[in-house]
């Protein structure tokens, strides 16, 4: 039987507990278990946004583009070690949906002899819709699931299931796809800043993700793309914008893709959004992904143990090596529970058809939040 005092002792022993002070907490009574949808605001973000506003924009005016122009790549370099990428392999821009679109196009361009794209029927909607849209436009077919891949050009796949938090064996599944001649675009939206993943060690060559969840980059923070350096020369992407062309300010007559990761850029990047993303990423870098992952596993283990104790069912894997940083609780009135608890400042989220997601964001979530949050679900039910 886990008691409230047991859980308070976990917080007291937590080596990352002090990171919570680096975030703006609006009201100490709020129980926030939705950092897997939108991370909390770092205090430094407001300071940096003010600095960029006053010093760069208001004072520097147009001159500030001299150091703004490569911010998408610089923030990419800051993110790279958190996901096992090398400098020059990650760039931040636009949103995840657009990044999926670009990398799927880039991948199918490298497999011109094949016309099938594989994706799970349970994957996040935007990934499925983008894949369906590309297939529709090009006359390709979409395979639901990953059984046979020997005629598949590209696999599009989330590393962590947005509903159940199940974590795929990225190394094994990348190797299987490559052995069958398929490329893989991995979606790390629920993995970046949550789990300690090494894309190079997994053999992954293409990946995308967002920075507003576990990376605490802020609402609408730019997404990121990773392309292993051996593919930089060969990938082509469908949106030819001036930020992706060689010698951008020559204003030349034709588009010539840059030789590096910046060939994925489009037009003028959002400097304020990149500034906020940079701060969030820097906090994860400071804490270190091994420590973040370890705390995430401990938080989700507590949530699963409490769910068992309170008679709740969860489809989230019990093996910590197979789960990300949220726990799904099945509940017949999941939607009503989530809405009622929101009114009491206890913030979970709901996912169709019957899932309450308890997001455990290691830099801000306390063990006591998990305890009190799950007790609140149980009390509503009783």
Ligand X SMILES: Cc1ncc(COP(=O)(O)O)c(C=O)c1O
**Catalytic residue IDs:** 124, 187, 212-213, 357
Q: How far is the CB of 162 from ligand X (least distance, A)?
A: 4
Of the candidate residues 120, 143, 158, 237, the single one contacting ligand X (CB under 6 A): 158
Kindly give the pairing relationship between strand 183-187 and strand 206-209.
Answer: parallel
Q: How far is the CB of 166 from ligand X (least distance, A)?
A: 12
Question: Residue 191 or residue 283: which is nearer to ligand X going by CB?
Answer: 191
| 97 lies in the binding site for ligand X (CB under 6 A) | yes
Of the candidate residues 19, 124, 214, 226, the single one contacting ligand X (CB under 6 A): 124
| 186 lies in the binding site for ligand X (CB under 6 A) | no
* φ, ψ (nearest 5 deg) of residue 326: -140, 165
Question: Who's near 100: CB < 8 A, 6+ residues apart?
Answer: 126, 127, 130, 131, 156, 185, 187, 208
Question: Who's near 366: CB < 8 A, 6+ residues apart?
Answer: 11, 14, 17, 20
| Number of shown-chain residues binding ligand X (CB under 6 A) | 13
| 95 lies in the binding site for ligand X (CB under 6 A) | yes
Which string of x and - marks every residue 127-156 that binds ligand X (by CB under 6 A)?
x-----------------------------
Question: Who's near 12: CB < 8 A, 6+ residues apart?
Answer: none
Rounded distance between C-alpha atoms, residue 240 and residue 179, angstroms: 32
Question: Residue 77 or residue 161: which is nearer to ligand X going by CB?
Answer: 161
**In angstroms, how far is the first alpha carbon of the chain from the final one?**
19
Q: Is 248 exposed, middle or buried (0-12, 13-18, 19+ CB in 10 A)?
A: middle
Binding piece for ligand X, criterion CB under 6 A, among 26-34, 95-103, 260-268, 271-279: 95-103
| 162 lies in the binding site for ligand X (CB under 6 A) | yes
Question: Residue 119 or residue 376: which is nearer to ligand X going by CB?
Answer: 119
| 229 lies in the binding site for ligand X (CB under 6 A) | no
Binding piece for ligand X, criterion CB under 6 A, among 82-90, 121-129, 256-264, 282-290: 121-129
DSSP string for 251-289 = --SS--B-SSGGGG--S---HHHHHHHHHHHHHHHHH-H
Q: How far is the CB of 242 from ligand X (least distance, A)?
A: 23
Interface residues for ligand X in 290-329 (CB under 6 A)? none
Q: How far is the CB of 119 from ligand X (least distance, A)?
A: 11
Kindly give the pairing relationship between strand 224-227 and strand 31-32.
Answer: unpaired
Of the candidate residues 64, 115, 126, 375, the single one contacting ligand X (CB under 6 A): 126
Question: Residue 114 or residue 157: which is nearer to ligand X going by CB?
Answer: 157
Q: How far is the CB of 269 from ligand X (least distance, A)?
A: 16
Interface residues for ligand X in 194-223 (CB under 6 A)? 210, 223
The four Cα atoms 170, 173, 179, 182 give a dihedral, to 10 degrees, of: -90
Rounded distance between C-alpha atoms, residue 359 and residue 272, angstroms: 27
* φ, ψ (nearest 5 deg) of residue 48: -65, -40
Residues of the shown chain interacting with ligand X in the complex, contacts defined by CB under 6 A: 95-97, 124, 126-127, 158, 162, 187, 189-190, 210, 223
């Amino acid at each position: 039987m886990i008691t409230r005092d047991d859980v308070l002792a976990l917080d007291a022993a937590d080596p990352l507990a002090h990171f919570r002070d680096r975030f703006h907490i609006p009201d100490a009574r709020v129980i926030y278990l939705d950092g897997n949808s939108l991370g909390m605001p770092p205090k430094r973000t407001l300071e940096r946004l003010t600095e960029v506003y006053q010093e760069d924009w208001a004072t520097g005016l147009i001159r500030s583009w001299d150091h703004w122009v490569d911010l998408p790549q610089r923030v990419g370099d800051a993110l790279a070690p958190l996901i096992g990428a090398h400098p020059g392999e990650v760039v931040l821009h636009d949103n995840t949906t657009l990044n999926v679109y670009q990398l799927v196009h880039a991948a199918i361009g490298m497999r011109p002899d094949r016309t099938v794209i594989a994706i799970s029927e349970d994957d996040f909607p935007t990934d499925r819709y983008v894949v369906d849209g590309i297939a529709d436009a090009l006359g390709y077919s979409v395979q639901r699931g990953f059984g046979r891949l020997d005629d598949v050009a590209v696999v599009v796949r989330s590393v962590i299931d947005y509903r159940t938090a199940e974590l795929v064996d990225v190394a094994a599944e990348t190797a299987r796809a490559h052995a069958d001649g398929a490329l893989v675009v991995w979606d790390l939206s629920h993995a970046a800043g949550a789990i300690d993943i090494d894309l190079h060690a997994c053999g992954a060559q293409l990946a995308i993700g967002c920075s507003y969840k576990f990376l605490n980059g802020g609402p609408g923070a730019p997404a990121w793309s990773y392309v292993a350096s051996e593919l930089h020369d060969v990938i082509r992407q469908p949106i030819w914008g001036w930020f992706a062309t060689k010698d951008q300010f020559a204003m030349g007559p034709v588009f010539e893709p840059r030789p590096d990761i910046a060939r994925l850029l489009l037009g003028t990047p959002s400097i304020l959004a990149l500034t906020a993303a940079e701060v969030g990423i820097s906090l994860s870098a400071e804490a270190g992904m091994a420590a973040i992952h370890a705390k995430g596993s401990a938080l989700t283990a507590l949530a699963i143990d409490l769910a068992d104790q309170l008679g709740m069912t969860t489809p989230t894997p019990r093996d910590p090596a197979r789960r990300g940083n949220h726990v799904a609780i099945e509940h017949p009135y999941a939607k009503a529970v989530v809405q009622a608890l929101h009114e009491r400042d206890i913030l979970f989220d709901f996912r169709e058809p019957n899932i309450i997601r308890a997001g455990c964001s290691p830099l801000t979530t306390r063990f006591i939040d998990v305890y009190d949050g799950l007790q609140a679900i149980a009390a509503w039910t009783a």
